[in-house]
Amino acid sequence: MLGSAFFFSSEAEDRRRPNKLFSTISRDICDRDPFFRASISNAVEEERALASAPMRRQFNGLILRPARTASPRRTHPLTIVIDALDEGCNDDLLQILEKSAALVPSEFRFFITTRSDATIITRLRNMEHISLKEINMSRQDVEVFVHHRLNEIAHHHDLENWLDDTLITRFNQHAEGHFLWSATVCKHVDNCDSPKEEMDSLLNNKDLLDRRVTEKMNKLYTEILSKCPWLSPRFSRRYQSCLGAVVALKRPLSISSIEKLLNDTNAGTAFRPLSSLLMGALSKDQPIQIAHSSLRDFVTHCDRENPAVARFAISEVEHSRHLALYCIVALNNGLPELRTSVAWIFQDKRAAGNIPNLIDGAIAQHVWYACEHWVDHIRDIESASDELRGALAYFMEECIFIWVAVGAMRGKYFSIGNLYTWLKVFLIFIFITTFH
């Protein structure tokens, strides 16, 4: 039985670190095992702050002890999947997997995937409780995938007599057994109006041959991005604002939410030419994110002095600063509408601990994102504009109590320690520049 599945991702703020790993796993298992759930209830009753405790205490209280309680009553193993460990691991988690995980009863099994990261494999490979299986994707595996995807493309576009041994051989020669390159090309060609011509163009491009993997991917990204409608001023402008937002967001948002956050109802048009490089670009309501971290590396490290790639360059910090203002504006526009819902916070005689829930749909997704992450974005601000100062002043005067109340009603604690540090630096800067 699948007990829980946690997927680390460098693209999502709350999945880049293991802070929520054990609380998420514990919550999932509670839905499947009543004895585990009862043990968790007792543990949380004894230590209310367990879900936010240091990782070792979380593991002992939320995983190890409940598993020991529940194991005698389990009739079959329960599997816990931890995927892409290399994208969110730290030393505390590695120590737990090295030592404490060995104490978990065998009725609870961990299935963990990771790239061949030297640190992780070296630390875990000789542990008696860990069985290491290396899975190498062979060139033949990639060729099977390529044949399947090219068949799909031919079917999608009614291309008769297009797929033959010559095309497949040429493609595989270019791919050189690299899955990511193959998958990106296939997705790009499938999204083109004329896939046959586009495929010929790519396979005739000698610049894509005989290169190392990273350089090969960068050349492919350059080729795909260069075919976007750069002569359109609207696309050129929105490429920066929209893809910049996707790069800088702390967690993925849908296109419709990004449009509302950026106050641009047509922002989604910029994602269509980029759809082969993104996930969720063809639906307004699905979270949109970069398909692979190598694209993030490419656009954030483009040589701005190189005319061939300068227009693709995106500064994550710069766009995070833009998002700080967008978030504050979204809060100033959206939170006052919730004043009635949070009226309880202004009641002097309110019963202690009586915090109502905020009904689903009461707060727009982009406003909730702003609630969660405006402090994260504002930390990147070094010199606040007059517009941001004015927006912040309005927020502090009219909206901050609503913000706190909304968080409480959604069961979310908003830490303002980072904001306090930023404000101290910012106010000192204002004082020095004012009286210099």
- DSSP structure string for 371-425: HHHHHHHHTT-SS--HHHHHHHHHIIIIIHHHHHHHHHHTT-----HHHHHHHHH
Please give the average per-residue pLDDT across 1-5, as a whole number.
93
**pLDDT tens per residue, range 78-107:** 999 999 998 888 999 999 999 999 999 999
Residue 354 burial class via C-beta count within 10 angstroms: exposed 0-12, middle 13-18, buried 19 and up? exposed
| Percent of the chain residues topping a pLDDT of 90 | 53
**pLDDT tens per residue, range 359-372:** 777 899 999 999 99
Given this model, what pLDDT does residue 428 score?
47
Q: Is the pLDDT of residue 421 over 80?
A: no
Nearest of 115, 255, 274 to residue 184 by alpha carbon: 274
Given this model, what pLDDT does residue 351 score?
64
Given this model, what pLDDT does residue 151 score?
94
State the first-to-last Cα distance of the chain, in angstroms, to the nearest integer: 68
Where is 109: in which H helix or E strand?
strand 108-112
273: which 2 tokens? 């030419």
Please give the average per-residue pLDDT across 398-407, as a whole number.
89
Q: Which residue has the higher pLDDT, 266 or 352?
A: 266
The answer to whether 385 touches 427, Cβ cutoff 8 Å, is: no
Q: Which residue(s) pair with 80 in the sheet?
A: 4, 110
User: How many residues in the chain?
Assistant: 436
Given this model, what pLDDT does residue 176 score?
85
Given this model, what pLDDT does residue 240 score?
94
Please give the average per-residue pLDDT across 269-283, as a whole number.
89
CA separation for the pair 79, 2 (Å, rounded)? 5
Q: Give Cα separations from 158 to 32, 169, 187, 190 (angstroms).
A: 46, 21, 16, 12
Nearest of 273, 412, 275, 401 to residue 339 by alpha carbon: 401
Given this model, what pLDDT does residue 225 score?
95
Given this model, what pLDDT does residue 434 score?
42
CA separation for the pair 172, 142 (Å, rounded)? 8
CA separation for the pair 418, 400 (Å, rounded)? 16
Please give the average per-residue pLDDT across 258-264, as a whole number.
95
Please give the average per-residue pLDDT across 345-353, as a whole number.
65
Given this model, what pLDDT does residue 14 score?
72
**pLDDT tens per residue, range 300-323:** 999 888 888 999 999 999 999 999
Nearest of 56, 46, 67 to residue 21 by alpha carbon: 56
CA separation for the pair 127, 272 (Å, rounded)? 48
The residues, any chain, with a CB within 8 Å of residue 402's CB and separated by 6 or more, are 335, 336, 338, 339, 342, 345
Q: Give Cα separations from 435 to 252, 421, 422, 425 (angstroms).
A: 42, 22, 20, 16
Confidence of residue 70 (pLDDT cuts 50, 70, 90): very high
Token pair 């409780």 in the structure block, residue: 129
What's the mean pLDDT when you consider all of the chain? 87
Please give the average per-residue pLDDT across 218-247, as a whole number.
93
105: left (phi over 0), alpha (psi -120 to 50) or beta: beta
Q: Which regions of 2-97 does DSSP assign to beta strands (E)?
A: 2-7, 78-83
CA separation for the pair 159, 155 (Å, rounded)? 7
**pLDDT tens per residue, range 371-382:** 999 998 988 888
CA separation for the pair 69, 64 (Å, rounded)? 9
The answer to whether 403 touches 414, Cβ cutoff 8 Å, is: yes
Burial state string for 186-199 with b = 16 or more CB within 10 A and e = fewer than 16: bbbbbbbeebeebb
Q: Is the pLDDT of residue 149 over 70?
A: yes
Confidence of residue 425 (pLDDT cuts 50, 70, 90): low
Please give the average per-residue pLDDT across 266-288, as a whole number.
89
Task: Name the packing angle between helices 316-334 and 365-378 (round to 10°).
Answer: 130
